[in-house]
Chains A and B, each alone.
Chain A
Amino acid sequence: MVMVMNVNYQDRVVQYALHARFFYDQLLAKDWPVLQNTFEAMTPTCRQAHQVIRTEIEKALSDKAAEEKLRVEYAHLFLLPEGVKMYASVHQSSEPLLRQKAWQQVTKRYKTHGLKLEPDEYHPEDHASVELSFMAHLIEQGESYEAQLDFLQKHVLIWLPGVLQKLCTHPKAEIYRLVSERTLHFLKEEEQLLMQLMNME
């Protein structure tokens, strides 16, 4: 029987929220205090795992030139065509387009949980940041492990790891390479964890 001793709800939620934040929008100097709190909200082991990212981001956001460099990196990777597209649709359809079946499906999935995106939310429902945020939500709402694993596998793991891999080797990725590596690791951990939790009657 596998002892899953190091599971902590808080860590899971915080990590989903943090990683959602990384892909949601660029990082600015004024974001540092909140990020700092977020790292502090982790348990020591989790915090340790994020130490390098934390240090790099703190450095980047402490200096105007470095902040700009980080913003340029973000734009290259997530806003401009030579980067990656953080939308499930783009990767799960025969053509790389927005709003295809994957988007419709995940939107419906949110509805079955009685949820929809806030009206002025900028990203579409299949954006990585939205799906990761939804995972955090599922955990906080105490949804079953089955529901969590199902969403994770059906709507996140079938496309996001591949995109994160691309980010890890993207020529323009520096800090976001560290972030993507961490996210990849986290998602793998999550899948294993949920499978174990489901097997533990």
Chain B
Amino acid sequence: MQSTKKSTFEMDRRTFLKTAAGGSLAAGLGLGIPRFVHAEQQSVIEPQSKVVNTFCSVCGGGCGIRAHVVDGRVVHLEGNPDDQAAEGRLCVKAYSSIKTLYDPDRLKYPMKRTNPQKGEGVDPGFIQISWEEAFQLTAENFQKAIDEHGPESIIFFMRGQDFANRLRNAIGTPNHVAHQSTCFTSQVASWFAQVTGGGRPYVYDLENCKYIMGFGFDGLGKSKNMHIRSITRALANNAKMVILDPYMSVTARKAHEWIQIKPGTDLAFALAMIHVIVSENLFDASYVEDMTFGFEYLADFARDYTPEWAAEITEVPAEDIRRIAREFATTKPAHIFTHKRDAAGPNYANSTRLAQAIVILNALVGTIDREGGLLLKRSFPTPSFDEVFPRPDFPERRKERIDAWEQREIMSRFTNGDFATVADGILNEKPYPTKAALVRKYNLLAFPEAKRMEEALKKLDFIAVCEIYPSEMAMMADVVFPEPYWLETSGVSERDFFSRYPQLAVRTPVIEPQYDTKGFSAIIVELAKAMNLGHYFEEASGGKWNNAILEAAGTTWDDMKDHPTGLWGDEKPFEGKTSFNTPSGKIELFSTVMEENGFDPLPHWRPRREEPTADYPFHYLINRPPMHKMTESQNNRLIMALYGENHAILNDRRAAEMGIREGDEVYVESRVAKIKLKAKLTAGIRHDCVCVFHGFGHWSQGLSRAAGIGANDGDLIPSMTHEEMKALHDPGAGACMLDFPVKVYRA
């Protein structure tokens, strides 16, 4: 075909070009449309591939990743072979995250709501707005709340973050409400009091352990990369694994012994173990002598906690309890592992006591901060945010918080918060009204009694949400700030989930952000400026902070950004600590810190808060599928192809008695709500339990793959009033995530 004929029209074209005075018509019109610029003309384009170092942010693990990019497209994520956390591999969540990166459902622009009505099934009427308008609107509304109701009427719902902490303090609100009371505060309280004087460790030397025990511990099911690697290595090295769990979790499936303990009674089992080990002199005498304080109290304390006593409570035969206690004490090294939402996680009113008892037991066999046990993290010195970014003084702020967290004798030290009590505070204005909120990376479905939390959120005048997806929380927002996906960002991570030796990981964007997004630190700084609080953030930026973290560790951003491995920190030999940050300088079996704070220094037996009744005869259990990340991954089609729906998991024989068949729709109902699910039957659960997996029940139409599937486990969890939480008098201020009975019946 000819390339330049068009005789009849040649004239038209020349005329047209002349008319446009040498410029292009499209440009001349002034229409805002995509523009092209000259690029080197190429007729044959070679495929271009590169590898970019990054680290994962699906969970807090921060595994080092080598991202393979071909022709501008991320095709594969490989575990960084030089990384102590990844050791060349990643978990299923990381491998699947490419689909989230390229999800067309992600938030693309800042938006504001035009429909003042909020709630499930309500169309927010979002419209796209500029970043400037988004900050302006948020600043105005926050200022209004401050002017009319005081700075404390603003809540920050998010995990602790240095920039956000500063803005919150600059505003002068005490209300930083995070989720930890639903997650792991019971372990924090016990570790703080008995061992670290600070937070709790996560580094598990499972691979060298020869006797792995867990009370509901499901490291394999949660599928954290470093845990699944080290547990399976231990098993390959002939470790014995004993798991106590009313449900046959993934970890229970790989265990040699699975003990279907009665839910919420694990404390009795642990106390009986202490009894056996102490009374039969099976403890590690030199470790106890050198590393612990308060051993002399244990004999009296545990005298009545015999295996026979425990057998009645736990429904586990006494001889098994005795045998396991003996095996635990004499197989070296042995350790009872606990992570987050297991029996020692804030699931029951007695969970903190169980966490205390577990610290005692692990100390008795000498595996705290020793090979085969749980290790305290080793990290680089961290810079002080205040030193790197000097600031004026913060204003005075009220002490009382909307979730009454300041009343928590031990836990108030930690920038955590209480998802269980915050709804009560907002709805009942206890101790004062709340008017506005800034939310980041929390979904509505994560709150106990989510429907009640929805009512609480509706009571607020203004909500700004930072998110990557149009989640349920985003649907409740007045302003939505879209954030980039972690593969599109720069950052530094300390990775305290697996720091045998200090090692930082650095990342640069694997691809440029695909949408009009801003990093969270930048959002905070801009918001501060819009609120006339910019003077708290002079010269402050996420990039500078990253550099400061690296400098404190002995390097710089410039050195690390093109680093071949993206990792900083050489392997150091592990040396167990010989002193601890407690009043006695030792691991306190008898906890003076607990005592000082008005709590029981020893974990005396206490039952769970609520037992099944005639009306509510079932125990409620919650677990999660390995390939999903909480409520964040259900729009990822690859992950949903692997695990697409949650169920009500019931014992097959019990179900038969109730006339429930596989796949039948059933209601699971607690005293606050009910959910409908299809039944899944198995022999792998106690006859008196029902287990629901977390992450489903999305209602946001913005999640095209996830909406309408399954049900939200958390709907059933009763939230608490300030008074109820106080009355529990739990050092860990746990939200009692499973401490209530339910009923199950056919729909």
A residues adjacent to B (C-beta < 8 A) = 7-10, 13-14, 16-18, 20-21, 24-26, 31, 34-35, 37-38, 41, 68, 71-72, 74-75, 79-82, 85, 87, 90, 95-100, 103-104, 107-108, 110-119, 121-124, 127, 129-130, 132-134, 136-137, 140, 142, 144-147, 197-198, 201
- Contact A99:B29 (CB < 8 A) given known A9-B13, A114-B40, A123-B34: no
Check if B35 sits within 8 Å of A82, measured CB to CB.
Answer: no
Q: Which residue among A16, A82, A100 has the maximum number of chain B CB atoms within 10 Å of its CB?
A: A82
List 11 contacting pairs A-B, 8 Å CB cutoff, sorted by A.
A26-B128, A31-B32, A99-B102, A112-B45, A116-B36, A116-B38, A140-B25, A144-B2, A146-B1, A146-B3, A198-B1
- Contact A127:B37 (CB < 8 A) given known A74-B127, A85-B104, A136-B26: no
Q: Which residue among B9, B29, B38, B703 has the maximum number of chain A CB atoms within 10 Å of its CB?
A: B29
Contact digits for B493-529, partner A, Cβ 8 Å, 1 yes 0 no: 0000000000000000001001010000000000000
Cα A31 to Cα B30 with chains together (Å): 10
Given contacts A9-B12, A144-B1, 5 further A-B contacts (CB under 8 A): A9-B9, A20-B31, A75-B111, A80-B702, A98-B104
Contact digits for B1-32, partner A, Cβ 8 Å, 1 yes 0 no: 11111100100110011010000111001111
Cα A99 to Cα B514 with chains together (Å): 9
Distance to closest chain A CB from B716 (angstroms): 28
Ordered nearest first, which 10 A-B pairs have the shortest CB separation? Answer: A114-B41, A116-B39, A71-B127, A144-B3, A81-B105, A97-B102, A17-B26, A81-B704, A115-B36, A20-B33
B residues adjacent to A (C-beta < 8 A) = 1-6, 9, 12-13, 16-17, 19, 24-26, 29-43, 45, 71-73, 99, 102-105, 108-109, 111, 114, 125-128, 470, 511, 514, 516, 637-638, 701-704
Check if A104 sits within 8 Å of B127, measured CB to CB.
Answer: no
Q: What residues on A are CB-neighbors of B701 within 8 Å?
A: 81-82
Q: What residues on B are CB-neighbors of A121 within 8 Å?
A: 34-35
Check if A34 sits within 8 Å of B30, measured CB to CB.
Answer: yes
Check if B38 sits within 8 Å of A114, measured CB to CB.
Answer: yes
Cα A129 to Cα B24 with chains together (Å): 17
Check if A104 sits within 8 Å of B71, measured CB to CB.
Answer: yes
| SS class, residues of chain B in contact with chain A | loop
Distance to closest chain B CB from A136 (angstroms): 5
Cα A10 to Cα B13 with chains together (Å): 8
Instruction: Identify B33's interface contact among A97, A100, A133, CB under 8 A.
Output: A133
Cα A59 to Cα B702 with chains together (Å): 30
Check if B34 sits within 8 Å of A82, measured CB to CB.
Answer: no
Check if A71 sits within 8 Å of B1, measured CB to CB.
Answer: no
| Residue of chain B at shortest CB distance from A97 | B102
Cα A17 to Cα B25 with chains together (Å): 9
Cα A82 to Cα B31 with chains together (Å): 27
Check if B36 sits within 8 Å of A8, measured CB to CB.
Answer: no
Check if B26 sits within 8 Å of A13, measured CB to CB.
Answer: yes
Cα A37 to Cα B25 with chains together (Å): 12
Q: What residues on B are CB-neighbors of A41 within 8 Å?
A: 25, 29
Instruction: Identify A17's interface contact among B29, B36, B41, B516, CB under 8 A.
Output: B29
Q: What residues on A are CB-neighbors of B511 within 8 Å?
A: 99
Check if B40 sits within 8 Å of A72, measured CB to CB.
Answer: no
| Residue of chain B at shortest CB distance from A172 | B123
Cα A3 to Cα B41 with chains together (Å): 36
Cα A125 to Cα B41 with chains together (Å): 17
